[in-house]
Structure 1
């Protein structure tokens, strides 16, 4: 464990997280400890709160932000302890739980109100109580009464969002139930029954009721699938029918979710809250924790490989830390443009869900199997009807084509997080750091339309229709959408084929009674050359690096060298290769490289 002086990452400093040789259960345990250690200096005197560095505001109160800071790491700590591992600093969390739930303590967490962020943090706390009995048994009768009042009784009488949040109340009650505390079986049963109405088929649940199509990582690793599996593990004996149903759903959805991870360990960033980073892989650890029988052709070696390769990839993302060694708000680097209004400095520790695998016994085949790749036994292209995705593992990366999903409430960059045409494990998506010109809109894999000469742009957010259709035995995505009330677009997305693995096709039929400008974007790519770290030069065939046409600054857009015909297209080669070209018969469309504003992309700053 680190000293109370904490960690300081100076010039070119490497986080201890990156130095762990991930190969077995013990190494993953050590990896978790490197996440927990840097939190030590940020505990409050009574240990009830963790104030992660950052000082940025959030939509809820500061106390709730600091409750996030102590509760979210419990996902990892509880898994470690439940699996027989040890952590020298566990007493800090034990003490903090007692202090935070004591209304007489100056660091009391506060009695939750309706739709309170504290409700979210009750989920990791409830699960920790259920799987680590030592927390409960270390309490006095008065301390147990305090946690009953704060954890169970408070949440049972409050309104909650009609979303995955209802699972958090279930686990608050389960944590108390498992320890003989006061809980509400009526609430537990009614919430489970209501959450079942979110189920759509094929293993997939929507994150909300009818009228909403939102199946992002909350439908899998961040919440719904994950928590269904944890429920099956905890309540399987007394609720065997539902536990078995949840396991069947997991078997079905596993054959879909395997397509979201590539052989390098990268996941496809899609939707909101991707700042929870490696939590994206937690479904696979929960699958083992619930001891689900894997559907063919998946093996435990493949599941283990997905988890460990994913963690290894995050070890290469050296800029995701604050200088104090805590997780930053962002993805591959600190980034507030992509952050949600509910992301506090403590929020990223939802990532500790990735360590669910540590609750899995050492003799489980998850740990005893040798790592394998799944890419050789799963379809290279697969249509997923429920989320409205067509998955592809051609061209050296995992990619999905998407139509139809949208967030049900206002969210920064929501059109980029859900409305894009294509999302990639290699390139990430881009969010707009501003709202003036293409450089600020950063329309990666989006079609933008402007009716004011290119100052402001509208993209796809909501669809009037979206569906997967069959065209000559090939699945295609069709959507109808309106960027303006009097402009209607029908878009068809066609996945790559073995003969053209690096290309997908987009067909747009635009019905407009007036002139509008259009701009269709490829993936974003790093604008840095390998020789000296300067911006990319024109393409060099010997170096296999550069751009065509020449990339020009935002102040030189009229430079002829910066433009090519649409039929010639534009491309860039640095960390990978991206390109786009027009296939329509009429002339007039032009191609260029957009020098998007800094910090618009999740992966490359």
Structure 2
């Protein structure tokens, strides 16, 4: 009898999946194993970078596999990757890797290599010859003194230099202290980090900014202030208590933010909670969360028929990629398999799976740091967020909306639209002014008034002028200013009451309209937008042959309040709430009898 009543996935399932992923890469490797040259469109950094990326990221999985199996190695993982390390760090080799001090992306991959070497040290590093060890140290050591952007990247330097210290190589206390200071500057409260100075709240909070600090403390317990480590442990627990609510009943993580092609990497912070014990979530729930994510993708064609993790969410979809994404990039998903570090008798593997919050009942949460309202419904397993605080930007920015960040709503059962038209205009889940020439206005650079209220200076952007790398933010260009809008939401069950008030002193053109659009759906999902006041024209927008978005429109008037009920459900939704509206105030009575108010 399995101890996995929800997913059916045991440790043996995870081991088999890891082995299959690693073995499927071997036909694409160079004879010396240093480069894994996968098919697909290269990243902006080129094939040399991409082939290193595939090696380094898969090596981290091989190292976790060796660690949890105490060196039992039926597939010769240690020997196979050792050969690649020797050739990749040998400057005389024709397949030598680009050095981290000469290629920015190599700074990222150096971290996976250093962490992998730490995890697999008895079976790999300790068996390298002194000459080979010296070459690896020289390659990794090129990070010392290098500058890193003030985002999650600072951990790549910290981890590498800590491994170098461990093996007697060069390292810099100043580099580590500088990186730690950046990390602390990113913390926003209640377990939430922003990935940089912008309002960049996404999965990097979990799979980077929580994962690396606590894994780092297992490498060397002399470098970190114990009080700071205690804070990190509490922050991870705070985050996981929230994050476990952001997983759908079918196992999908929230589809929001950049690097979504990393897929089940979203399981990484749950595993780190188990590895470090820094969470109050029970072991069976930690594994149910992680196994649910893995199974969600494995049940939907991931990996592909070649056994490869391609660029996409389910099937291959290059539009999901950022400019740094190449064929090796999806293998950051292996961070979602870090639980394999733990031996088979660890409680996270032996405990019975326990249900996710969305499997035990309906719930609502308010998350002030990212500015999200959250609703989960047990009947269909959908978790939705309504977003009035995240746009991968700063107040007053006049770039276009990023569909990965600036939409009003995201869920576990719908995908942001990645194609170019959705970068040029917010075609779904928006509150927009409709211009007869420029189309739908953007909300990027909003001012956050509350977790459910934002003030938007509507604007249109001619994006053809922006040739900067696409790292998640919206595109820049010539800006045409529109009116100020105060927007807000209330959320319960399947329904969001979405509202917008046009500034009383707004200068408006008679041909402008106001639009509220709903969820992009295909298949059996139900997506509707129902007018409450001011939005009498209803229609649907076809984004792809399989994906449509409902919307409502009305003539725009200064000072007027517009309200609609926006619904996403996996079947017949519960009855719509009762909504009463006066000049600036909305009263909503939900079907359970609870009453809430929204004042704009």
* TM-score normalised per structure 2: 0.79
Counterpart for residue 534 of structure 1: none
Q: How big is the shift at 1:163?
A: 0.8
Alignment of 1:307 with 2:290, yes or no, is yes
Pair 1:75 & 2:51 matched:
no
Aligned to 1:234: 219
1:444-470, Cα deviation, whole Å (9 max, x unpaired): 2123433235x64333222133422xx
| Alignment map for 1:427-438 (pairs within 5 Å) | 427-434=414-421
Distance 1:411 1:363 in 2: 54
Matches within 5 A, 1:238-317: 239=224, 240-292=226-278, 294-295=279-280, 298-317=281-300
Distance 1:22 1:73, change over 3 A: farther
2: CA distance between counterparts of 1:276 and 1:504? 29
Q: Is the 8 A contact 2:144 2:170 kept in 1?
A: no
Shift, 1:414, TM fit: 5.3
Distance 1:23 1:233 in 2: 27
Report the RMSD for the aligned CA atoms in angstroms: 2.6
| CA distance, structure 1, for counterparts of residue 105 and residue 542 of structure 2 | 38
1:40–1:105 distance in 2 versus 1, CA, 3 Å: same
Q: Does 1:384 align with 2:401?
A: no
Separation of aligned partners in 1, 2:229 and 2:334 = 24
2:183 to 195, 212, 227: 195
- Contact conserved, 1:22 with 1:28, CA < 8 A, in 2? no
- Structure 2 partner of 1:124: 112
For 1:447 and 1:508, how far apart are their aligned partners in 2?
Answer: 7
Moved more, 389-398 or 248-257: 389-398
- Describe the superposition over 1:407-460 as per-residue Cα deviations: whole angstroms up to 9, x where unpaired: 259999852111111111111222343379xxx95722123433235x643332
Query: Residue in 2 aligned with 1:149?
Result: 138
* Cross-structure match for 2:354: 372
SS at match of 2:542: coil
Shift of 1:66: 0.9
| Alpha-carbon separation, structure 2, partners of 1:523 and 1:363 | 44
Find the residue that maps to 1:582 and give its secondary structure: strand
Alignment gaps of 5+ in structure 1: 1-20, 469-475, 527-573
Task: Note the residue ranges of structure 2 that are not aligned, 5 or more in a row.
Answer: 1-6, 461-480, 549-600
Runs of 4+ in 1 over 4 A off after TM superposition: 320-323, 376-379, 408-414, 598-601
Aligned residue runs from structure 1 range 210-221, under 5 A: 212-221=198-207
Choose the corresponding residue for 1:47, options 26, 30, 33. 33
Q: For the Cα contact (< 8 Å) 1:74–1:128, is it kept in 2?
A: yes
Taking a change above 3 Å as real, the CA distance of residues 138 and 405 of structure 1, as seen in their structure-2 partners, is same
Greater strand content:
2
Whether the 8 Å CA contact 1:122–1:168 is kept in 2: the answer is: yes
The alpha carbon displacement at 1:313 in A equals: 1.0
Tell me how far apart the structure 1 counterparts of residues 370 and 235 of structure 2 sit (CA, whole Å).
Answer: 15
| 2:429 is the alignment partner of 1:480 | no
Higher mean displacement: 391-400 or 375-384: 375-384
CA–CA distance in 1 between the matches of 2:543 and 2:175?
49
Alignment partner, residue 3 of structure 2:
none
Structure 2: how far apart are the matches of 1:365 and 1:230? Answer: 19
Rate the CA distance shift 1:575–1:462 in 2: closer, same or farther, 3 A. same
TM-superposed CA distance for 1:523, in Å, is 1.2
Q: Are the equivalent residues in 2 in contact too, given 1:213–1:404 (CA < 8 A)? A: yes
Q: Please state whether the residue corresponding to 2:98 is helix, strand or coil.
A: coil
1:235 touches 1:243 (CA, 8 Å); kept in 2?
no
SS of corresponding position for 1:382 = strand
Please say if 1:577 is aligned against 2:553: no
Partner of 1:510: 502
Q: Residues of 1 paired with 2:398 and 2:404: CA distance?
A: 9
Asked whether the equivalents of residues 265 and 336 of structure 2 are also in contact (C-alpha less than 8 Å), the reply is yes
Distance 1:205 1:253, change over 3 A: same
Instruction: Kindly provide the CA deviation profile for residues 143-178 of structure 1, in whole angstroms up to 9, marking residues without a partner as x.
Output: 1111111112x1123222111100000111122223
- SS of the aligned residue for 1:332 comes to coil
Per mean C-alpha deviation after superposition, the further-off stretch among 176-185 and 351-360 is 176-185
Q: CA deviation at 1:53?
A: 0.9
Structure 2 residue 99 is the aligned partner of structure 1 residue 111: yes
Structure 2 distance, partners of 1:407, 1:321, is: 30
Could you list the per-position Cα deviations for residues 290-318 of structure 1 after superposition, in whole angstroms to 9, with x for gaps in the alignment?
122x33xx321111111111111111211
Aligned equivalent of 2:429: 445
